[in-house]
Amino acid sequence: VLNNGHTIQANYDEGSGVMIDDQPYSLLQFHFHAGSETTLGGEQPPLEAHFVHANADGGLAVVDVMVVEGAENPAYASVLNNMPAEMSPVMFIEGETVNAMDMLPEEKTYWRFDGSLTTPPCSEGVKRHVLNNTVEMSAEQIAQFTALFDNFRDVQALKEREFIVVDNGDVEEEVAQAADSDSAEEVVDAVDAEETAETVDGDSTDEGTQDSDADTEDEVAQEEEKAEWGYEGDKAPEFWGKLASN
């Protein structure tokens, strides 16, 4: 388990994964966003877990699990009870284990689309699998994470992405070839919950090495990138600072 400055991440042992389009994808890690980066019926759940996978060629696939308030969830307890409050290296928690299958809803139908990372550089080409059934955590468990982070990316327009409903691994129906977000919203309100697989590969700068003109240019570029990537609102400046420093 580690705190990488913009989320709590749990690295997963080798040997687990999924088959997507006849290719094996290995589970690398899972982490959390507060609130959810997916909305259901216009409502934003308080938390979302992302299970990040990669194939042998480096292609990424993410399984997104929305979390709602309810009963305590023992499957997540070993991570939530051992979260570093500050940025940290990987910490090995003796005697604690997790099972990713126990962290998923019993019914595993999902929406699938080709999306992107949700933290800079927000690269495209990520296979998104958003489970359309939620899991529960207690209010206390949710508060354990939200006390540390407010790190969601705002919902993005579907644009021309193909949106597919999948029932237990079988494609049931091609839902939409949407030209804009309005037509997508008529189909389903879970749009573009895109995620990152690794620590942000941003450029860091040393204080005092740039003149005021360069600083101004950096600030302008940063504001433009924030708007482009969907990081806007009250939480943006603090969250952006964490991302930019990594």
Q: Which residues contact 217 (CB under 8 A, 6 or more apart)?
A: none
Of 54, 77, 65, the C-alpha closest to 106 is 65
In angstroms, rounded to a whole number, what is the distance separating the alpha carbons of residues 33 and 111?
19
Collapsing DSSP to helix, strand or coil, 89 comes out as coil
Using left for φ > 0, alpha for ψ between -120 and 50, and beta otherwise, residue 244 falls in alpha
Phi, then psi, of 40 in degrees rounded to 5:
-120, 120
- The question of whether 129 is a catalytic residue gets the answer no
Give the CA dihedral 5, 82, 11, 110, nearest 10 degrees: -90
Whole-angstrom CA distances from 5 to 86, 144, 151, 156, 179 are 7, 16, 10, 23, 36
Q: How far is CA 176 from the centre of its chain?
A: 23
In sequence order, the 6+-apart residues with CB closer than 8 A to the CB of 78 are: 93, 96, 97, 98
Distance, in Å, from the CA atom of 57 to the CA atom of 174, rounded to the nearest integer, reads 27
Name the residues annotated as catalytic: 6
